[in-house]
Chains A and B, each alone.
Chain A
Amino acid sequence: MITSITDQIRFQTADLPPKAESIRTEVRDFLELELSKISPVKRSHSWEAYDPDFSAKLGEKGFIGMTLPTKYGGHGKTFLERYVVVEECLVAGAPTAFHWVADRQSGQLLVKYGTEEQKKEIIPKITAGKACFAIGMSEPNSGSDLASLRCKAEKTSNGWLINGTKIWTSNAHRADYMIALFRTDPDLNKKHGGLSQFLIDLKAANGITPRPIKNLAGGENFNEVSFVDVEIPEESLIGPEGNGWKQCTEELALERSGPERYLSCFYLLRKLIANLKKDCDPSVKARLGKQIASAITLRNMSLSIAAQLEDGQSPTLPASIVKDLGCQFEQELPGLAQELCELEPTMEGIGNEYQQVLGNLIQVAPSFSLRGGTPEIMRGIIAKGIGIR
C-alpha cells in the first residue's frame, strides 16, 4: 500500500497567528482579576459553572461571539482568535456555562439558518454575554440513537404546536432560548428527513416545564423538559423543514471539536502539580510527564481542527478522533491524581484546594464520555470515516 488511509486524517500543524497570540495576555489578565474570588470547586466546574455576571463581563470585553459577523454585533474575528479565549477560560477555570452553548454553536447556527429578524434580535444579546441557550436533542427513549426521537412539531394555521419530552437538557430551567430538534413528519420510516430544528423563546412560550435532575454529585444542571401543547410562531422553524438532521450534524461538529473536550480536568492537573514535591519519585514524574505529552499532542490536534474550521471545512472525522482521545485523557486524570498523590478527595470546604477539586471532578468525570456523544458513537463515526462502516 503506497498511501495510507490515515493520510486523509492528518492533523497538519497549525500555528496561531500573532493577532491570536496577542489576545492571550489580555485574556489571562482579565481572568486573573475576575476569578480570584471564585471558589476552587466552582472553578473546577469550568464550562458547566453557570454565572451570568461573569458572562456579561466577558461579553463586555468582546470575548463572546468573536467569530460572528460584525453586521449583527459580532466581532468578525477568526476561529483561531476565539480558540485562544476559549482555552484560556478552560484552563483558568472560568465559569462559562451561561454563554457557552450560544457562543460555541447557537450563534453560528442562527447566522447560517436564522431569519434576519432573529439575527438582529438575538446575536447582539449573545455577544453581550446576555443570552443563555439550551440544546434540545436527547429524549427519554432517544439517547445515542438520536434520529429515533419522537417529540413532535405540528404545523398549525399560524405556527407550530409542540408536544413531547426532552432530557439531559443543560440549563433549560434558566436559559433564555432553546434550539431543539423535533419530528415534523410523523412517518418514522423517514428517520432523518422528518426532523426539523426550532428556536424556542423559553421566557415567552407557555406549556414548557423543566424538571431539574439531580446528578450523583448533587448538582442540578440538567433537566427533563416536557412540552404540552406549546404554541410557537411560524418563524421559529430554523432552516428548511426536514433539514434538521443536517443542521444538527453541523452543530455537533462545532460541539465536538473544541478544546473543552480535553481540558475539562486541566484545573485539577494544575492543583495536582501544586501538591507534588519537586523531588518526588521518578515514576511519579514520568506519569505526570506522560500526561503533559498527551496534553501537548491533543492541543496540537485540537488547534489543527480550529484551523480547518477557519478554512471553512467541516472536520467531522478529525473532531470525532480528538473528542474520543481527549475524553479518555480528561476522564483518566482524577483517577491518576489519586494514584500520584496521597491526599484524599474531599467535599467542598474541607481539605485543601486540590482535594476539593479532586472531590468534585472524580464525581463528575463519568459524564465526560456521555455529553456531546459517547465514545461508541465517536468510534462509529470514525469507522465510517475510514471506510469500514
Chain B
Amino acid sequence: MSELTDILQDSVNKVLHEKLTWDSLKSIEENAWSEDLWSELKDLGLPTLFLTEEQGGMNASWQDAYVVLRACGRFAVPIPIPEAIIANWYAREANIQLPDNCWALVDEKSIDVSAKDVSFNDVGVPWGRLANYLLIIGDNNLRVAEVKNKSVKKQENIGRDPRDLITGEAKILEEASIDLCSNSLLYLGALQRSAQIAGAASMAFDLAVKYSGEREQFGRSLSKFQAIQHYLSDLAGLVASVDAISLAACNTLDSQGLRKNSHNSLKAIAAAKCQSSDSVEKISRLAHQVHGAIGFTYEYGLHYVTRRLWAWRSEFGSSNYWGEFLGDLALDAGENGVWPLITK
C-alpha cells in the first residue's frame, strides 16, 4: 500500500463514519441529496483524486481509489462520489479538465450525437435530476456537454439511490479523443460496484459481529453459539474474498490499463464483479440471519448496506453476465489454455 492509500483510508473512513450515521442516512434518503456532504467530500478532494497534481488532484492509482470506493460502499454514501471519481479518471485519460460538478456518465450509444448539440431520450443517469453536465463516453472520444433543458422521470433503485431517466438536450462544450477499450464505462462501472460491494459487505459483517456479541439468549451472547460462529466465519471468508478480488482487479488496471489490448484488465474486472455479485446473496442472508428480527426493521441500519448490496449486485452486469463472459474466455482457451488464463 502506498502512503496515499493509508492517508485516504484513514481520512475518508473517519469523515464518512462521522457524517453518515443511520439518522443522517435516513434524512438524506428522504431528501435524495445532501449538499453539505457533497461539499465536504469535494473539499477533501475525493472526486478529483485521479487528477494529476498540476490539475489539482492526487494523481491516485486505482489501488488508491479502491479504498475510497470501498469506503463509499461501507458507509452507504448516498451521493455520486464514486461516479465523480470515475468521471475524473476519464478526464485524466483525455487530458482535459471537467467543469465543476460534472459527474453524470453516459454511454455514447444511448445518446443521439448526430447534431452539434446532442439530444437524449429516457437515458438512465444516477442522480440525473441534479445533473447539469453530461460526460458522454464513446469508444474513441469523450464529450463534455452542458444540459440545456431536461425532463426527469424520478426513479430509485432498491438502495433508494436515484436512478433517474432523463430526456432533453445538451450543448457540447468540449470533445477529446481517448484510447480505451470498447464499453469502458461498463467495465469501470462493474469495478466501481465491486469495490462498493466489498465495502458494504464489510459493514454487514462488522454489524453482525457486534450484534452477536451484545445480544444474549439462553444466558449467553449469540457469538458464543457454534452455529453463529460458523455463520460469522463463513461471512468473514466471503467478505475477505470479495475484497481480495476487487483489489486485485484495481492492481491489474494500474499495471495494464484499459486499452483495446488490455485483456487481463477486462478479465480481472469480470472476475471481480462475477465473484462479488455472486457472494452478495450469501453475505446478506447470513448477516440478516445473525441479526434476527431486529435486522429486518427500518430503525436498525443494516438495511442501508444490504439493500445497496442487492441493488449493486445487478448493476453493471450480474454474476451470470460476467460468468458468461468468463465462460466464453475459458471455452476459447480450451483444456490447455484455461490455466494460463488464470495465471496471467
In the complex, which of the residues A292, A296, A321 contacts B327, with contact meaning CB atoms closer than 8 Å? A292
A9 close to B240 (CB less than 8 A): yes
Name the residue of chain A whose CB is nearest to the CB of B205: A6
Given that A297-B271, A388-B229 are contacting pairs, would A289 and B248 also be in contact in the complex, using a CB cutoff of 8 Å?
A: no
Residues of chain A at interface, number, CB under 8 A: 59
**Chain B residue at minimum C-beta to C-beta distance from A299:** B342
Please tell me if A141 contacts chain B, counting CB pairs below 8 Å: no
Compute how far the CA of A348 lies from the CA of B205 in the bound complex, rounded to whole angstroms.
46
Among A114-122, A222-230, A266-274, the one that faces the other chain is: A266-274
Is there a chain A Cβ closer than 8 Å to B243's Cβ? yes
Q: Known interface pairs A4-B202, A304-B244. Does A321 touch B334 (Cβ–Cβ under 8 Å)?
A: no
Does B209 contact A276, Cβ atoms closer than 8 Å? no
Contacts of A284 on B, CB cut-off 8 Å? Answer: 327
Bound form: Cα–Cα A292–B323 in Å: 8
Please choose the segment from A10-18, A98-106, A156-164, A231-239 that sits at the chain B interface, where 4 or more of its residues have CB less than 8 A away. A10-18
**B335-A274 in contact (CB<8A):** yes
- B264-306 CB mask vs A (1 if < 8 Å, else 0) is 0001101110110010000000000000000000000000000
Chain B nearest CB from A341 CB (Å) reads 12
Residues of A within 8 A of B336 (CB): 270
B178 at the interface (CB under 8 A from A): no
CA distance A378 to B230 in the complex (A): 9
Within 8 A of B (CB), among A233-269: 266, 269
**In the complex with contacts A292-B327, A379-B229, A5-B240 CB distance below 8 A:** no
How far apart are A238's CB and chain B's nearest CB, in angstroms?
32
Interface assignment of A363: CB less than 8 Å from any CB of chain B: no
Which residues of B lie under 8 Å from residue A4 when comparing CB positions? 74, 202-203, 205-206
- Chain B neighbourhood of A266, CB < 8 A: 339
B207, B237, B275, B322: the one contacting A294 at CB < 8 Å is B275
Interface size class for chain B? Answer: 35 or more
Give B192 Cβ to nearest chain A Cβ, in Å: 17
CB-CB nearest in chain A for B244:
A11
B324 at the interface (CB under 8 A from A): yes
Q: Is the C-beta of A78 less than 8 angstroms from some C-beta in chain B? A: no
The minimal Cβ–Cβ distance linking A358 to chain B, given in whole angstroms, is 14
B17 near A10: Cβ-Cβ < 8 Å: no
Residues of A within 8 A of B238 (CB): 325
The reply on B341 being an interface residue by CB < 8 A is yes
Could you tell me if B233 and A325 are in contact, using CB atoms closer than 8 angstroms? Answer: no
Residue A386 at the chain B interface, CB threshold 8 Å: yes
B320 CB-CB contact with A under 8 Å: yes
B156 within 8 A of A: no
Alpha-carbon separation in the docked complex, A111 to B325 (Å): 47
Bound-complex Cα distance A97 to B107 (A): 54
Specify which chain B residues have a CB less than 8 angstroms from the CB of A294 in the assembled complex.
275
A305 to chain B, nearest CB (A): 11
A:292-331 near B, CB below 8 Å = 292-301, 304, 318, 321, 324-325
- Tell me whether A91 is interfacial, beta carbon within 8 Å: yes
Distance to closest chain A CB from B36 (angstroms) = 20
Q: Is the CB of B245 within 8 A of A285?
A: no
Q: Which residues of B contact A278 (CB under 8 A)?
A: 331-332
A4-B203, A12-B247 given as contacts; is B322 within 8 A of A289 (CB)? Answer: yes
Kindly provide the distance from the CB of A376 to the nearest chain B CB, expressed in whole angstroms: 8
Q: Is A290 an interface residue (CB 8 A)?
A: yes
Residue B114 at the chain A interface, CB threshold 8 Å = no
Cβ of A217 < 8 Å from any Cβ of B? no
Report yes or no: B338 in contact with A292, Cβ–Cβ below 8 A: yes
5 extra interface residue pairs, beta carbon distance < 8 Å, beyond A292-B338, A293-B245: A6-B202, A273-B338, A286-B319, A289-B322, A385-B236
Q: List 23 A-B contacts (CB under 8 A).
A: A1-B206, A9-B236, A10-B240, A13-B63, A15-B255, A276-B331, A278-B332, A284-B327, A285-B328, A287-B323, A288-B330, A288-B331, A290-B319, A290-B326, A292-B326, A292-B342, A293-B275, A299-B342, A378-B233, A385-B236, A386-B232, A386-B233, A388-B209
